[in-house]
Amino acid sequence: MKTDVLRIGGRELQSRFFLGTGLFPNPYVQQEAIRASGAEVLTFAIRRINLEAPEDDSILQYLEPGAFHFLPNTSGARTADEAVRIARLARASNLSDWVKVEISANERTLLPDPVETLRATEILVKEGFTVLPYTSDDPILCKRLEEAGAAAVMPGAAPIGTGLGLLNPYNLGLIVEEANVPVIVDAGLGSAADALQAMELGAAGVLMNNPVAKAKDPARMAQAMRLAIEAGRLSYLAGRVPKKRYASASSAPEGHLLP
Amino acid sequence: MELTINGITQQLEVRTVGDVIAHFGLEGKPVVVEADGEIVDRERWGEAELRQGMKLELVHFVGGG
C-alpha cells in the first residue's frame, strides 16, 4: 500500500491522532495511553509553576525526550493578545514553535471566538509560528484562517469535553472540500465511532483528550481511537459506495436453481 | 527586594532572574520567565537584573488538550 503521511509545517507524521495530555488519572495511565495511541503529536497547556511544589506538575519529566512533537495550546486566553502572549512563552521553552490557538470567550460553551482566533493566527504566522487554530466549524472562517497562513485548521466537532460527537457533519464535509491545508477535527468527540466518522468525512486527523483520559480504561480507549482513525482514513481513501433507497443483490441472479 | 511572582507578592534576597530560579530550585527545569511582560531568554537569566516591584511569571508545560 502507498504510504499515507500527514504533512504539517514541514513535518511528516505517520499518525493522524493528536492526543491531549490533560485530565489523566495519573502519569502511569497517561504513559500507557500515549503508547497505545501511537500519537506523535501531544498537546499541552502553559501554566504558572506552583512555587510551593515545583516538582508536582512538570509533565515533561515522564516523557521520553525527542519521542514526540509538542503542540502547546493557548487555553485560558480570551483575546488574541492574550493568546499571542501565551504562544510566545510556549516558544521560549525551545521545545516547539507550533501553537494551537485556542481562544474561548464563553465559559459555558468554551466555543472559540472566531474574530480573535483569526487575529491571533495572523499575528503568530507573521512571527514565524506554525499555527494550528482551534476554530468554529465554519467553512468560510476555516478558509480565512488558511489564507492567513494557518498550517492546519482545527474545527471543533462539538464544545470541548462534551463528547457529543460531530454535530455538523455537513459543515465538516464542506470544510474538507474547500481546504488546501490539513483539517484536524478537534474537541467534542466522545467515542471511536465519532473519530471514525470525522475521518470518513475526509479529516486529515483528529485531536482528542477528554474521551481518552476520562474513559474507564484510557489505554484501551486510546487503542480504539487509533484503530478507528486508521479505519476511517482507509475508508475515506477507498471511497464508499453511494447510498441507494432499494436493495441490489450481492449474489448473481443467473443460474438460480429454483424455478 | 519586593517582587510579585506568579501573582504572589513577596520579599526575596535576589539580584537577578537566575537568583529567583535558584531560590525556587528550578535550575535545569523547562521553565520560561517573563519579567514585566517581556520574556527573559534562558541565556540571560544570570545577568538579567531585577528591580523593586517587578512582576515575574514563571511558567511551564502542563497537561492540556
Q: For residue A58, give the nearest of A74, A44, A38 by alpha carbon.
A: A44
pLDDT of residue A55: 65
pLDDT of residue A254: 87
pLDDT of residue A250: 92
Residue A256 counted as domain residue? no
DSSP A187: S
Q: Are strands A130-135 and A98-101 parallel, antiparallel or unpaired?
A: parallel
- What does the DSSP assignment read for B7-53? TEEEE---SBHHHHHHHTT-TTS--EEEETTEEE-GGGTTT-B--TT
Domains by residue range for chain B, with CATH: 2-59 (3.10.20.30)
Residue A60 counted as domain residue? yes
What distance in Å separates residue B36's CA from the closest CA in chain A? 12
Whether B6 and A51 lie within 8 Å, measured CB to CB = yes
Q: Are strands B55-63 and B2-5 parallel, antiparallel or unpaired?
A: parallel
Q: Annotated catalytic sites of A, by residue? A: 100
From the first residue on, what is the mean pLDDT of each consecutive set of 10 residues in chain A (259 residues)?
86 97 94 96 95 72 86 97 97 95 95 98 98 97 98 97 97 97 97 98 98 98 98 96 93 84
Residue A255 counted as domain residue? no
How many CB atoms neighbour CB B53 within 10 A? 11
Hey, which residues does A71 pair with through a beta bridge? A43
Whether A54 and B64 lie within 8 Å, measured CB to CB = no
pLDDT of residue A61: 77
Query: Domain span at residue A144?
Result: 6-238
What grid cell was written down for B22?
A: 535558584
Residue A246 counted as domain residue? no
**Binding site residue list of A for 1-deoxy-D-xylulose 5-phosphate:** 161, 187-188
Whether A51 and B61 lie within 8 Å, measured CB to CB = no
pLDDT of residue A56: 59
Cβ-Cβ contacts under 8 Å, A23 against chain B: 63, 65
pLDDT of residue A63: 83
Residue A259 counted as domain residue? no
- Residue A29: exposure state from Cβ atoms within 10 A (0-12, 13-18, ≥19): middle
Helix A139-147 vs helix A114-126: angle between axes, to the nearest 10 degrees? 20
DSSP A140: H
Q: For residue B6, give the nearest of A152, A33, A46, A143 by alpha carbon.
A: A46
* Residue A234 belongs to domain with CATH number: 3.20.20.70
pLDDT of residue A42: 97
Task: Give the count of domains, chain A.
Answer: 1
Whether A48 and B24 lie within 8 Å, measured CB to CB = no
**Binding site residue list of A:** 161, 187-188
> Which residues of chain B register pLDDT less than 50?
none
Task: Flag whether residue B12 sits within 8 Å of chain A, measured between CB atoms.
Answer: no
Residue A49 counted as domain residue? yes
pLDDT of residue A66: 84
